[in-house]
Structure 1
Amino acid sequence: MEEAIMDYNQKQLQILDTAERLFAMHGFHGASVRDIAQEADVNIAMISYYFGSKERLIEAIFLKRVMDVKNGLDELVKNKDLAPLEKINKLIELFVAKISDRPYFCRIMVRAQATQEGVPTELIHEVKKQMYDLVKKLITEGQKKGAFLGDIDTMMMVNTLVGTSNHVIISQNFLKKVWNQEAISEEKFRQQLKERVSNHLKKLFKVVLTDER
């Protein structure tokens, strides 16, 4: 998967960001290459030159965002200074922040899993497996050091992290209304949301991993 990632120039990033927003708003089939070109202020030929097709474009978006998260998690796994539970807490903070800061991609990811629209199923499965493997490494490390319980369902831990984060982010408008936070700015609410979700998941994971409250 890493081989598919490249350093994009400013024009390519402009196309990717625009396409990400339009795919999130209108779906893969609802956003045309012409729409993307118009919004990104480029011509269709440039999109074809850089990405080849709409299918390759959404794959590029998917891979770029996922690898951004994965690279951060890889660094966390290699960290020798943090205790096992500290690593889990950092994992939660990193993942929630990435999801919160990329709400359009979050919507694409949720839609792709529900409808298999645009993104190949095997790519989604590979992403899930890599996420599982990384979390498994952190949990296994903690178990070897005696910091975590032996009977941990890693897949359910991953599902809890990803599912909770995704659901909260795509429900921001509803939550803002329910929590009576409609008067505050989007940026301030997003920051509060990140902290609230992170703190909740940290408490939950601590109980599951250590049986401590």
Structure 2
Amino acid sequence: SFGTSLNAACNYGHSGCIQNSLQKWRAYAQNTSAEVPVNLRRHVYCVGLREGNGTDYQLLFNRYNASQNTADMVVMLRALACTKDQASLQHYLQQSMFNDRIRIHDRTNAFSFALQGNPENVRIVLNFLSTNRATITSTYGGVDRLNLCINAFAAHLTDFQDLQSFQIWLYGAQSQLASSSFNAGVAVIQSAMNNFNWGNEAAVEIFNFAVTRGASSAILASSVLLIAAMLIQLFR
């Protein structure tokens, strides 16, 4: 859809998309009666919070709490996780446990949204999991819901230090985890390692192909750029 395409453009850092979204967000922040079009809200809200501060987060959080529109609430819940303000993100994660406006099946969604919001969120979310595991289990709806949270890390452990931190937490908490939760964590580690290995092997294969074909310097340079682009996409 048009809205999805714009969201992707903003996430990839398209300057025009970001500036346009930021303009719309600031207009809304100054006058909340100047509603953002429904099909643009997801990326406008996200960019507004990502480029903003705790005040922007609080504005959207207040709107979330006051909303009676379920579909709009899901859009806002996703966008709130785009904040780069650490205190706001920590508040968001705490709210995912205790805010009764967040429906039980949206609590795990909020956890996943926090991981998706920004690459640097991973460490904050992992710390939240490690310090609140028991409370997450009880407030999110049980062990199966905790397992969903653990599984959500699979696509986001693209930094080796984050992977190590996850592994240290998992094995340190093994005696306190249900076997299904521990096994889910082991699968996450294996998946992340496979992604690292695939990226390394694919980069070598592309480079070797270019060299063995006696590629010109221009083609070789293009191959290097292709490898870089591929790895950025894999580990973004």
> Would you call these one fold, judging by a TM-score over 0.5?
no
Larger relative contact order, structure 1 or 2 (CA cutoff 8 Å, min sep 6): 1
When Rg is computed on C-alpha atoms for both structures, the one with the higher figure is: 2
